[in-house]
Amino acid sequence: MMRNQILASTVSFALTLATPLQAQENPMAKAWSDFAEDIAAAGPWLMEQEGLAVDDPQVVANGYRYLATLLYVGLDVHLLNPNVDLPEWTVTFAPHAPYGGDHRDGVYHTTPVNPEGVYRVTGTPRGGIPASANIQTQDGWWQPGRANDVLETLDIMSLEQDT
């Protein structure tokens, strides 16, 4: 639940920053203050969880690191890379940001796209052809009110290749 709240707060803040100042009812300072309050509440919430060994410094440090990772991923995906007209791949589930758990056997990238848009994906495999690779579209990416359902998955080996 907290992961969704942190990402939702990040998305809300990012949307406020993306809105032109003349269209905002609240000034940027209010958006920043609200965002900071949401993030500040995450630490106490974490320390109140049943069964958390708050007397173990390693457990506490890992908990705060996890919350920071959620913030990092939320800012990276929703604030620093929100342009559906010029999408750029963002690495998610990276060694430095393993939110949701370790993903040792995979490399995950994400980018926002317009469902009505047409995109061309190009690239060159590094180190040979991967054992498995796919492109997946989802309805939402941890956005409030969005289902986050998988819409389609394509195996890259089934796509047309330019020579």
Report d(CA 131, CA 120) in Å as an integer.
Answer: 22
Q: What's the pLDDT tens digit per position in 26-60?
A: 667 788 888 888 888 988 998 898 998 989 999 99
Strand partners, 59: none
Flag whether pLDDT at 139 surpasses 80: yes
Q: Taking the domains of the chain in order of start, what are their residue ranges? A: 2-78
Higher pLDDT pick, 78 / 119: 119
Report d(CA 38, CA 75) in Å as an integer.
Answer: 14
Say how many C-beta atoms besides its own lie within 10 A of residue 158's C-beta. 7
Q: What is the mean pLDDT of the chain?
A: 77
Say what the pTM is. 0.63
Residue type, 127: G
Higher pLDDT pick, 102 / 67: 67
Q: Please provide residue 157's backbone torsions phi and psi, each rounded to the nearest 5 degrees.
A: -70, -15
Report d(CA 147, CA 121) in Å as an integer.
Answer: 25
Q: Note whether 112 and 92 are within 8 A (CB).
A: no
**Token pair listed for 101:** 């758990």
Flag whether pLDDT at 89 surpasses 80: yes
- pLDDT for 56 equals 94
Q: Taken in order 13, 19, 25, 30, is the CA torsion positive or negative? A: positive
Higher pLDDT pick, 28 / 119: 119
Mean pLDDT, rounded, for 155-162 = 77
